[in-house]
Amino acid sequence: MIQRKFLWKIFFITSLFAVIPLLAFVFISDIKPNLLLLLSVIIISLIIVFTALSILLGPVDVIKSGAERYTQGDYSAKIFPPKEKHLKSIAESLNTMAKQLDERLDIIGEQSNLQQAVLESMKEGVLAVDYEERILMLNKTAERILDIASIDAKGRTLQEVVRISEIQKFFKKLLSEGSPQEAEIILQHDRDKFLQLSGTLLYDVDNKALGALVVLNDISNLKHLDTIKKDLVANVSHELKTPVTTIKGFIETLKEGAIDDPKNAERFLNIVSKHIDRLNLLIDDLLTLSRLEEMDEEVQLEDEEIKPLLQSVVEDYDFIAGEKKITLNVKCDDNIFARTNRHLIEQAIGNLLDNAIKYSDKKSKVEVGAFEQDGMLNIYVEDEGYGIDPEHISRLFERFYRIDKGRSREEGGTGLGLAIVKHIVNVLGGNIEVESQPGKGSVFTIKIPKN
Ligand SMILES: Nc1ncnc2c1ncn2[C@@H]1O[C@H](COP(=O)(O)OP(=O)(O)OP(=O)(O)O)[C@@H](O)[C@H]1O
Ligand SMILES: [Mg+2]
């Protein structure tokens, strides 16, 4: 320590001044003291000098080590103020300075924590760069949206980190023009990802521009919903168009004279009536879907015994199954109960049963069953029908999705049955699974919470 070295220097010099005159005096004078006594005097005087210096410089040492602690950022322990007036005021000043620094650092720390928390909680991505396009900061959402990790990003250039050319161009334009910019981009590598960018220049407290700040908004879901809505309108219009055109055509034919030919008139009216039924069915299904969408969690639940519930749905389909000589079978233990909504679950099983009968050959078998597993009620509908190719499985539950449009339409299908089932299962807090083998048959299993 410098302090100690300094002490030794002073000690050495002071010793020289104390001992040399003494020795000189002894040699010059006639006094011949005992050597031992002389040595004792020298040692004692050295001890006195050393102790005096230690006492004098000790407090300086204390202040110095305290100041060193402060420079290392440790403001917890105060410097004990020495008795000596000047040193005491130095120690007190240092203590006050440390206290103020500590308080200011606390405030700065709190503010920066708060700012960090705000940034990290934002559902929008935030990305800031300087004029060299070096990344100053980015939050977690930005990392997620842009698929980058913060450790890699900070201090590196935008070009190195964000390889999306549209974003690079956006920053360039923002930095060169200086005016706020807005843009919507589709990511090239991920066509399903839509980003909304909104950028301004970044200013410091003295209003000096530091770089640019961009807020990124992932609007893929909104865009997706938009597409779904557009598709739905297009699909509904398409589905309505066929029966309406047919009805209109036959009415024109009747008006033009066919009405006077009773045999043909009846046939035409039957066709008209069939298409009106189809329109009705379509409207009913669309209404059911929109009601289910509004329902969410408000659905009423009651304790239901499952076996009689399955039997009652199967009874409803006995007639149409009978027409194709399809055997319907119920497999369910007695006393299985679940807290559910009877009307919704009946509708879902009904739609599955309807499909199982529609998409199966004559004289085949369909089984409707239920069992409990891991606290969930599993209800399945198994057929030996045409089966479904794996490529179609993921799209089966979309509205108006039909594998064989001709066959489905022939059967009077609107392509909304499974979309309704999916919605019902969602409303009941469950999920639906499909296993199918083309040419062998399919099993649709609804899993809903028992309680
Ligand atoms: N059990 C099944 N076996 C084979 N294919 C099926 C089965 N269930 C559904 N599909 C296929 O999935 C498509 C969608 O079924 P969905 O029930 O949604 O509509 P749909 O039966 O055509 O009409 P809707 O049920 O509205 O009257 C059907 O057109 C059919 O191609
Ligand atoms: Mg169906």
| Sequential pLDDT tens for the chain (451 residues) | 445 566 667 667 776 776 777 777 777 776 666 777 777 877 887 788 778 777 777 778 888 888 888 888 887 778 888 777 887 888 888 888 888 888 888 888 888 888 888 988 899 999 999 999 999 999 999 998 888 876 677 888 999 888 888 899 999 999 999 999 999 998 766 667 899 999 999 998 888 989 999 999 999 888 878 887 887 888 788 778 878 988 999 999 999 988 898 888 999 999 899 889 888 988 888 888 888 877 766 788 899 999 999 999 999 999 999 999 999 999 999 999 999 999 899 999 999 999 999 999 999 999 999 999 998 999 999 999 999 999 999 899 988 888 876 666 666 678 889 999 998 998 899 999 999 999 999 999 999 998 8
User: Does one domain contain both 436 and 372?
Assistant: yes
* Residue having the nearest C-alpha atom to atom 22 of ligand 1: 415
User: Does one domain contain both 332 and 428?
Assistant: yes
User: Does one domain contain both 135 and 7?
Assistant: no
Task: Please state, as a whole number, how many other Cβ atoms lie within 10 Å of the Cβ of residue 136.
Answer: 15
User: Does one domain contain both 443 and 322?
Assistant: yes
- Determine the length of the chain: 451
In a domain, 117, yes or no: no
Domain that holds residue 433: 299-449
CATH number of 281's domain: 1.10.287.130
Closest among 199, 193, 90 to 145, alpha carbons compared = 193
Strands 441-449 and 431-437: antiparallel
User: Does one domain contain both 57 and 186?
Assistant: no
Answer yes or no: are the C-beta atoms of 216 and 184 closer than 8 Å: no
User: Does one domain contain both 189 and 67?
Assistant: no
Element (H, E) at 366: strand 365-373
Answer yes or no: is the C-beta of 369 below 6 A from any ligand 1 atom: no
In a domain, 132, yes or no: yes
In a domain, 112, yes or no: no
Closest ligand 1 atom to residue 385 Cα is 3
Measure 138 CA to ligand 1 centroid, in angstroms: 48
User: Does one domain contain both 190 and 261?
Assistant: no
Q: In this predicted structure, what is the pLDDT of residue 191?
A: 62
Element (H, E) at 401: none
Answer yes or no: is the C-beta of 286 below 6 A from any ligand 1 atom: no
User: Does one domain contain both 438 and 315?
Assistant: yes
By most ligand atoms within 8 Å of CB, the mutation choice from 326, 359, 401 for ligand 1 is 359
Ligand 2 ion local residues (Cβ < 5 A) = 355, 417
Answer yes or no: is the C-beta of 281 below 6 A from any ligand 1 atom: no
Answer yes or no: is the C-beta of 347 below 6 A from any ligand 1 atom: no
User: Does one domain contain both 137 and 270?
Assistant: no
In a domain, 118, yes or no: no
* Residue having the nearest C-alpha atom to atom 4 of ligand 1: 387
CATH number of 411's domain: 3.30.565.10
Q: In this predicted structure, what is the pLDDT of residue 353?
A: 97
| Count of domains observed in the chain | 4
Answer yes or no: is the C-beta of 386 below 6 A from any ligand 1 atom: yes
Answer yes or no: is the C-beta of 139 below 6 A from any ligand 1 atom: no
In a domain, 114, yes or no: no
Answer yes or no: is the C-beta of 95 below 6 A from any ligand 1 atom: no
User: Does one domain contain both 130 and 69?
Assistant: no
The stretches of 208-363 forming alpha helices (DSSP H) are: 220-255, 262-295, 306-323, 342-358
Q: How much helix, strand and coil, in percent to the nearest 5, is found in the chain?
A: 60, 20, 25
Q: Which of 295, 310, 332 is the last residue of a domain?
A: 295
Q: Which of 263, 295, 327 is the last residue of a domain?
A: 295
Answer yes or no: is the C-beta of 366 below 6 A from any ligand 1 atom: no
User: Does one domain contain both 242 and 213?
Assistant: no
User: Does one domain contain both 164 and 268?
Assistant: no
Q: Which of 257, 275, 295 is the last residue of a domain?
A: 295
In a domain, 279, yes or no: yes
In angstroms, the CA 290 to CA 451 distance is: 26
DSSP one-letter string for 147-161: T--HHHHTTSBHHHH
By most ligand atoms within 8 Å of CB, the mutation choice from 320, 365, 408, 420 for ligand 1 is 408
In a domain, 316, yes or no: yes
In a domain, 116, yes or no: no
| Torsion sign across C-alpha atoms 309, 322, 287, 419 | positive
